[in-house]
Structure 1
Amino acid sequence: METAFIKTPLGTARIVGDENGIAIISVQDGGEASVLIPEVLQECVNQLESYFAGKRNDFSLKLNPKGTEFQQKVWNALLEIPYGKTRSYLEQSKILGDVKAIRAVASANGKNPLWIIVPCHRVIGADGSLTGYAGGLWRKKWLLEHENPTNQQSLF
């Protein structure tokens, strides 16, 4: 597995993957960016940089996250949430076929190893609250605002 670190507006992203796909993308406070990016991670770096520049709203990367069959199912459902939209944990549970699995769905969301690419930040509380985000609620808020900016109407 190859690893690279890039600076983002939300901290330093750690990207781990190989020819089988991207396995991990996480964020941390501080840290240095990689001087050299392994070739196998270059496209992921390019797409993330484009996303943060506001020029990309979807990703086309080979993914290889490690998780249980249930976690994989939850993460695949997250990929269906459109850019700029949100769903509640309850809605995600219904989509996955079991409204009673809401806690398990929330737990699987929290274990999502592919920050931003698998958009768990788009899942919110049923009341619209920004609940539960492994990267910190301030990052979740930033990402949702980045994907759905409020345009200030001009008075003149």
Structure 2
Amino acid sequence: MIVHELEMTHDNNTKTRRNVSWLTRLGFEDNARESYLSARSGTIHKRARQCIFQGDLHLYIWELSFVYFMVIHNTVQCFQSCFPPPMMSVCVKWAKEEVDAFNIILARQLSSTEPGGQVWTQCMERAKEHSKFLSEVGLDFENLVGKNLMNFEPVEQEASVGLGLS
């Protein structure tokens, strides 16, 4: 029941701190950590889906990078105040996974632009600028943004056999 409450109120630092404290006292610190980070991933994905591409790639990347890096920033900040320092490595791993997810979206969106061109450069600059939010909570992931972007090749999904798809 407390885990469910944590999942429902993960965006409220006071309630999160209280719920994590209760779960820690009951010996469910791992459940609290996993539930909190999972709920925050859900928030990122929900808010990212609310960013609508309307023809201006620069604006879309600005919105998307703002969502990703601000939610990661807020999550790490809350995590630092709710969980003991030895658990921070789990949060850093989670943050890196979210940055990697952002990079996949970024690569997909920039695949139609000329690498090093004006639009590509503006989008990369904006994403890197937003990634600086993370330095406020002790994470320096600026070099991870756009990592391996030049080597990105879209992965084609295999079509199901027998369904008339090719």
- TM (norm. structure 2) is 0.29
- TM (norm. structure 1) is 0.31
Per residue, is there more strand in 1 or in 2? 1
Which structure has the larger Rg over C-alpha atoms?
2
